[in-house]
Amino acid sequence: MAQKPSIPSGTRDFSPIETAKRSYIFDTIKSVFKTFGFQQIETPAMENLSTLLGKYGDEGDKLLFKILNSGDAFSKLTTDDLGNSNAAATKVCEKGLRYDLTVPFARYVVMHQSEISFPFRRFQIQPVWRADRPQKGRYREFYQCDVDVVGSTSLLNEVELIQIVDEVYRRLNISVTLKINNRKVLSGLAELMNAADKLTDITVAIDKIDKIGLEKVKEELRERGIADSAIAVLEPILTLSGSNADKLSKMREVLKDSEVGLLGVQELSTIFEYLQNLNLGCKVELDLSLARGLSYYTGAIFEVKANDVEIGSITGGGRYDNLTGIFGLPNVSGVGISFGADRIYDVMSQLNLFPESTLVGTQVMFVNLGKQEELASIKLALQLRQKGVAVEVFPENKKLPKQFDYANKRDTPYVAIIGESELQQGTVALKNMKTGEQNSLQVDELTSLLLKKLTVNL
């Protein structure tokens, strides 16, 4: 009995139409990155596991896909290893699939530092993998579109990243809200809570507030050893309302005794001062409950939500001051954001935002009516392709209705017909498959007319 084909849960196949839509997203994002002077790099799907472990916190480590060593991978395991999953993993797995693009980028910067001019502005569009529980908007394999600057502490970089977010979603026609906070502010709050050593526990818990609500967050904080008195300090901050200026004013008062907290407030204030002089289309909101669970963030943090679709964040990122230091290159600050292409795809699909032109593969199909007609079609198809028109020649001499049906199923807007009379007269019949209109054209008229029609109609 033949095996029933399947794919792993949390992964997807993409049809030609779906792939065309995804390419539209990638091309749009890439074009914006390039207008801001960023250059593209790529890194391997696999990284050494030592590169990945310990960079995303305990919860992130659990979501790493680890690659089993070849040969007798389990021969070096001891009984003690069985009680420590990370220790066991490092003995039987030397490599893992990348969890994100930021840590591999930090590794890249260190390895190629002699070739790089700082500040280094790079973008990267590649898949990542996470051993998460699949659900709506959350996949085990998905693409990220990252843009980062390393080697500069200037807050102008944060402002430019916000401009990139605004421009990308303007071009994609998605209404969004960008939420911003600062990890220094959260560090200051942890100090006020007398729980500075619990900063990671605090951020991991409050990062879930949109998913599980405030009461569940408070329960998780208690489970992580945070006292009720400390939670009482944090709660009014998480629910703080008002304008961005109002929130900043309140936080200056709350954090007046925290040097690091006030520094975070000042950084946020500077960013908002820049933004006042820019005519942004997206809303930028100071959200003091925003934490970003990844442990390497040290300054400004961002998340972007679509306004018209219930889905998780579609873009996120922030400032990381010493990620390269883990790999032996200290004091190189970086900041970046990541666009989640798969969630953006889901948003655009739900809102029907893809332009009709992205759905068209073949723009003109030549029908096949016999050997001589086929040869003439191939010759003319080549001329059209050289002008940039996407052309297909039907490969077999089948009944005309079947060839038309094939063109309709592929949403081909035009069909070109060269039959016996067209061969004799040196003409081509061009049929509009949407309207049914058909015109007879001289061969030398076809290219200019098609280019005009395709430009106007697509």
Interval 373-412: pLDDT, tens: 999 999 999 999 998 889 999 999 999 999 999 999 988 9
Interval 318-328: pLDDT, tens: 999 888 888 88
Q: In angstroms, how far is the first alpha carbon of the chain from the final one?
A: 47
Q: Is 211 helix (H, G, I), strand (E, B) or coil?
A: helix
Residue closest to 207 by CA, chosen among 241, 168, 238 = 238
Lowest-confidence pick of 26-35, 49-58, 156-165, 377-386: 49-58
Class of domain 16-351 (CATH, top level): alpha beta
- 16-351 against 361-457: fold identical: no
pLDDT band for position 208 (cuts 50, 70, 90): confident
As given in the structure block, the two tokens for residue 450 are 């098609």
pLDDT of residue 83: 66
250 φψ region: left (φ > 0), alpha (ψ -120 to 50), beta (else)? alpha
Strand locations in 151-282 (E): 176-182
Q: Is 76 helix (H, G, I), strand (E, B) or coil?
A: coil
Q: Which residue has the higher pLDDT, 215 or 390?
A: 390
pLDDT of residue 111: 96
Interval 270-298: pLDDT, tens: 999 999 989 899 999 999 888 886 678 89
pLDDT band for position 458 (cuts 50, 70, 90): very low
State how far the Cα of 377 lies from the Cα of 98, in Å rounded to an integer: 48
Those residues whose C-beta lies under 8 Å from the C-beta of residue 298, and which sit 6 or more positions away, are 183, 184, 319, 320, 321, 322
Supply the mean pLDDT for the chain: 89
pLDDT band for position 85 (cuts 50, 70, 90): low
Q: What is the mean pLDDT of residues 111-121?
A: 95
Residue 86 has pLDDT above 70, yes or no: no
State how far the Cα of 307 lies from the Cα of 205, in Å rounded to an integer: 24
pLDDT of residue 101: 94
pLDDT of residue 123: 98
Lowest-confidence pick of 251-255, 263-267, 447-451: 447-451
Residue closest to 328 by CA, chosen among 106, 150, 149 = 106
pLDDT of residue 294: 65
Lowest-confidence pick of 100-114, 163-177, 236-250: 236-250
Consecutive H or E run containing 46: strand 46-48
Share of the chain above pLDDT 70, in %: 96
pLDDT band for position 432 (cuts 50, 70, 90): very high
Residue 360 has pLDDT above 60, yes or no: yes
pLDDT of residue 44: 98
Residue 165 has pLDDT above 60, yes or no: yes
Q: What is the mean pLDDT of residues 249-270?
A: 94
Residue closest to 277 by CA, chosen among 163, 192, 201, 194 = 163
Question: How many Cα neighbours within 13 Å face the side chain of 226?
Answer: 30
Residue 1 has pLDDT above 80, yes or no: no
Highest mean pLDDT: which range of 56-70, 86-100, 319-333, 403-417: 403-417
Those residues whose C-beta lies under 8 Å from the C-beta of residue 280, and which sit 6 or more positions away, are 162, 163, 166
Strand locations in 276-417 (E): 283-286, 300-306, 315-320, 334-340, 364-366, 391-393, 414-417
State how far the Cα of 291 lies from the Cα of 183, in Å rounded to an integer: 7
Architecture in CATH of 361-457: 3-Layer(aba) Sandwich (3.40)
For 419-423, which contacts have Cβ atoms below 8 Å and span 24 or more sequence positions? 419/369, 419/373, 420/369, 420/370, 420/373, 422/373, 423/372, 423/373, 423/376
Q: What is the mean pLDDT of residues 206-234?
A: 81
Each domain of the chain, given as residue ranges in start order, spans: 16-351, 361-457
pLDDT of residue 110: 95
State how far the Cα of 371 lies from the Cα of 198, in Å rounded to an integer: 78
Lowest-confidence pick of 69-83, 93-107, 111-125, 366-380: 69-83
State how far the Cα of 45 lies from the Cα of 30, in Å rounded to an integer: 20
